[in-house]
Structure 1
Amino acid sequence: MRVLVCGGTGYIGSHTALVLAERGHDLVLLDNYSNSSPAVLERLYQISGQHFDFCQVDLREREAVFALFKTKTFDAVIHFAGLKAVGESCEQPLDYFDNNIGGSLNLLQAMQKAAVKHLVFSSSATVYGHPEKVPVKEDAPLSVSNPYGRSKLVIEQMLGDIAVSGSGLKPAILRYFNPVGAHPSGLLGEAPSGIPNNLMPYICQVAAGVREKLSVFGGDWPTVDGSGVRDFIHVMDLARAHADALDALTRNKTGFTVNLGTGTGISVLQLVQTFERVTGRPVPYQITARRAGDVAEVYADSRLAKQRLGWQTELDIEAMCRDAWRWQQNQTA
C-alpha cells in the first residue's frame, strides 16, 4: 500500500515507518520538524538502506495539505502528527487545539476529497481521564483532565461522526499507554527538546549525568511501593501494532478502537530499579509531592487488540531499559 505517515520523523512515527517499510509498504513521510529533525531521515536510511520520500508540511497549512493529496495518491494515512506534552497543553491550550484538532480537520477534509478511506489514528490513554478501575477496557467511561487529552478525545469523536456519515471512512483508533524504549540499533529513539516530559528519557538523562536526579511524584500511593504504577510499552511493539492495524483495516468492513499496552502495571520505582540493574548505572531520585491530577495506577486491558489485530507485546521492561540506554549513550557520546 502507498501510505502517508503524518508525523513520520517523530518518535513513534519514525519507528513505525521502519516496520511499514520492512513489510513492503510504499511510504511518504510528512512532518513539520516541530519535535524532530532532518537527522531522523539519515538515521532511517542507516537502519533500512532506504531513502524515504519526505514532505515538510504542517497540517495546519490547509493549501499545502490539499496540494499534497492532489499531487500524490495514497491508499491509507497513519496520523501521528500532534503536540503531546500534558503540562505544556495546560499552559498553551489554544496551541494544542489549533495544532491537534485544526491540523486533523484539514487532513480529514483532504482525505475525503481524495477518497482515501483508511486511517490509523494515534490516540492516547489520556482519554480515560481517571479510570474507575484497572485494567482499563475500551468501553470504560471517557473523561479528560487536560487540553492534550481533550484534543485526542475530540478527534476520536470527529472520526466517529465522519465514519457513520456515509463518507466511507474506516478509522483505526489506537489508544497508547506509555511508550518507551528505542530501536535496538541505538540509532533511533525519543529525543525530547529541553527538559523531558516523559519518565524514561528523564531517567536516561539522570543516568548519563545530564540531570542531577529524578523527581518521583508521590511516595504514598496505594501501590506496591508507594510510587505510581503505569503500563510501559516498547516503541517497537507499538510500531508493529500500527502496521497490524493497517492490515486489519483492509480485512474489516468497519473501523475499530483498541488499547495498546502490555496489560501489566510497573511502578516508577520498579522501572528505576530495573534500569539500574540492566544498565549498571545509578539513577539518583527524590520523592516529591504528588502532582495534581495524577492517579495511583493505570494499565491496559489489551485483549481486544489481540482479537482484532492478532497483536500482542513481545518486548519486556528489561528490553525497554536496555534499548533506551543504548540510544541515550549515542546522544551523549
Structure 2
Amino acid sequence: MKILVTGGLGFIGSHVVVELQNEGFDVVIIDNLSNSYETVLDGIRKISGIAPKFEKLDLRDKALVEDFFKRYDDISGIIHFAASKAVGESVKNPLLYYENNVNSLVYLLQQIQHKDNAHFIFSSSCTVYGRADEMPITENAPIKPAESPYGNTKQIGEEIISDTCEVNDNINAIALRYFNPIGAHESVNIGEFPVGTPQNLVPYITQTSIGLRKQLSVFGDDYPTEDGTCIRDYIHVVDLAKAHVAALNRSIAKKNKDNYEVFNIGTGKGSSVLDVIKAFEKISNKKLNYKIVDRRVGDVVSAYADTKKANDVLGWKANFSLEDGLLSAWKWEQKIRG
C-alpha cells in the first residue's frame, strides 16, 4: 500500500517514515524543506535499508498538489505533518500559519475525497484543549479558545476533517492529539534538527549544553505548579511514530467505530521545565546554563495526557521514559556537532 507522508523529512515525519517502511508500506514523501533537510533521506535509508520516494513540493500551491496526485494516483493513505508549528512564531506571524496549515490541509482532502477507502492520519496537538480545566486531559475535554494562532489552526484543521468525513464515507480519518515529542532514533541516524533557533525545549537544552547557544531561557517561574515552571508531557518520538502506524493499521483493518476518531498520544506523566533540566543534567553529567525570564505569550500552565483511550482502543502505549528521550536527544546532538 502506498502512503504519502507530508513533511516526511521533519523531526516526527522522518521517524514515522522509518516505522512505515519497517512495516512494509511503500512511502512517498512531500516536503518543502522549510524546516528540514534533504540529507534526512540518507538517515532514513541507513535505518530501513530503503530510500523512500521524495518530492520537493509546497502544499500551498494547489496546482502542484493536483499535479502530484495525477502522477501518484495509487496513493491509498496520507499521514499529514506538513505545517508550521511554533507557538511563539504563530503569535508574531498569524497569517503565515493560517495560509500554511489550513490551505494545505484543504488541498489534500480535495484530492482524496473521491478515492475509494482513503485513509487520513492528521498530526494534531494537545494545544486544541487550550487551558484545560482538569489534568490529565481526556479526549472528552472541551475544546477551549486557542491560546495561539498555531493552536487555532489545529482546532480548525480538526473541524475541517470532521466536516469532510461527515459527507464522505469513503474517508477514514484519525486525528492524533500529541503532546511534546522529544528524542531521536536509537541508531542516531535521524533526530530533531531545527532550522535556525529551536522553538522547542529539548533541542534548545542540547544546543546550550554543547555550546551552540549561550544560555537557555526558562519562560516564567511563577506559574501555579510545584516549582513554578510550566508542565508538559514529553513523549519519545519513536513511541509517537509507532502510534501513527497503529492508527493507520486500525483504519486499514476497518476497526474504527466512526470515520473520524481522535486519540491523545502522550505518556500520561507531566514534567516541569525544571524537571526536564534536572533530568538532562543527570543523564549528561553536565550543568546547564539557564536563566529565568518573563513568561511567554501563548503558553498554558499544564498539559499532560490521559492515554487510556489510546492504550485500550488503539492498542498503543508509550514505552520510553523522559530520561530515554533526553539521552537519545543528547547523543544525536553530539553526533551532528561532532
Of 196, 199, 204, 1:197 maps to 199
Match of residue 264, structure 2, among 256, 259, 264: 259
Give the match for residue 323 of structure 1: 328
The correspondence of residues 1-333 of structure 1 with structure 2, limited to 5 A, is: 1-72=1-72, 73-115=74-116, 117-143=118-144, 144-250=146-252, 251-253=254-256, 254=258, 255-333=260-338
Using the size of structure 2 for normalisation, the TM-score is 0.95
Q: CA deviation at 1:167?
A: 4.3
Per-residue CA deviation, residues 160-216 of structure 1 (Å, 9 max, x unaligned), is 111111442111000011011111111211111221110000000111011122111
Contact 2:216 2:290 in 1 (8 A): yes
- Counterparts of 1:209 and 1:141 in 2: how far apart (Å)? 42
In 1, Cα distance between equivalents of 2:53 and 2:46 = 15
Checking the alignment, whether the CA contact within 8 Å between 1:69 and 1:114 is kept in structure 2 is no
- Scaled by the length of structure 1, the TM-score of the pair is 0.97
Runs of 4+ in 1 over 4 A off after TM superposition: none
Could you list the runs of 5+ residues in structure 2 that have no partner in the other structure? none
Contact 1:31 1:57 in 2 (8 A): yes
* Amino acid aligned to 1:10: G
After superposition, what is the alpha-carbon deviation per residue over 1:74-125, rounded to whole angstroms, capped at 9, x for unaligned?
A: 1111001111111111111111111110011111101124445210000011
Q: What is the root-mean-square deviation in Å for CA atoms of aligned residues?
A: 1.3
Partner of 1:233, secondary structure, is strand
SS at match of 2:305: coil
Q: Which amino acid aligns with 1:203?
A: I
Cα deviations by residue, 1:40-65 (Å, 9 ceiling, x for unpaired): 11111122221111111111121221
Please list the CA deviations of residues 13-60 of structure 1 after superposition, one character each: whole Å capped at 9, or x if unmatched: 000000011011111111111111111111111222211111111111
Q: Is the 8 A contact 1:57 1:64 kept in 2?
A: yes
| Aligned CA distance change for structure 1 residues 167 and 58 (closer, same or farther; 3 Å) | farther
- Partners of 1:74 and 1:116 within 8 A in 2: no
| Counterpart AA for 1:252 | K
The count of residues paired between Structure 1 and Structure 2 equals 333
Q: Indicate the SS of the match to 1:164.
A: helix
